[in-house]
Amino acid sequence: KAPTTIEPAFIAKEAFQPIDFLGLDEPTFRAKYRKTPLFRAHREGMARNACVVIANTRQREHLPALADTLRRDPSPMVRGHAAWALGELGESELLRDAHAAETDASVLEEISRALAEPTDRQPQEQEEGERS
């Protein structure tokens, strides 16, 4: 067996979790990920992807973070994906609450769509409605 390296460039980094990208503001994202490949996806892209992963992998323990993202994220794209994710997880009440406070037309449309087509599929049933 080869010896474990002490070369910093080859030491394994901590794995990222989708939740790590929700709730980050732009300066924090820049400071944390500036010298990583994730920086190219930008904060919005990583937060959007986090919403998709959380919904597609049924990580219900992250519902509070999704709800907070829907209420507070500055990006309509991210809020729209949080709405989609909450819809995929069958969280109609959270969506109705957010609908009353939302002002962006694209996010309101996503909330309305999620409310009109409620789901709460099991992980193996994913495919057609799944986002990537």
First to last CA, the chain: 38
Closest C-alpha to 54, from 76, 22, 15, 94: 22
Domain boundaries, the chain: 19-119
C-alpha gyration radius of the chain: 17
Measured CA angle at 111 (ends 98, 62), to 5 deg: 65
Closest C-alpha to 16, from 1, 31, 36: 36
The pLDDT averaged over each successive group of 10 residues in the chain (132 residues) is 81 82 96 92 97 96 97 98 96 95 97 83 47 58
Q: What is the pLDDT of residue 123?
A: 41
Q: What is the pLDDT of residue 117?
A: 83
| Residue 73 φ/ψ region, left for φ over 0, alpha for ψ in the -120 to 50 degree band, beta for the rest | beta
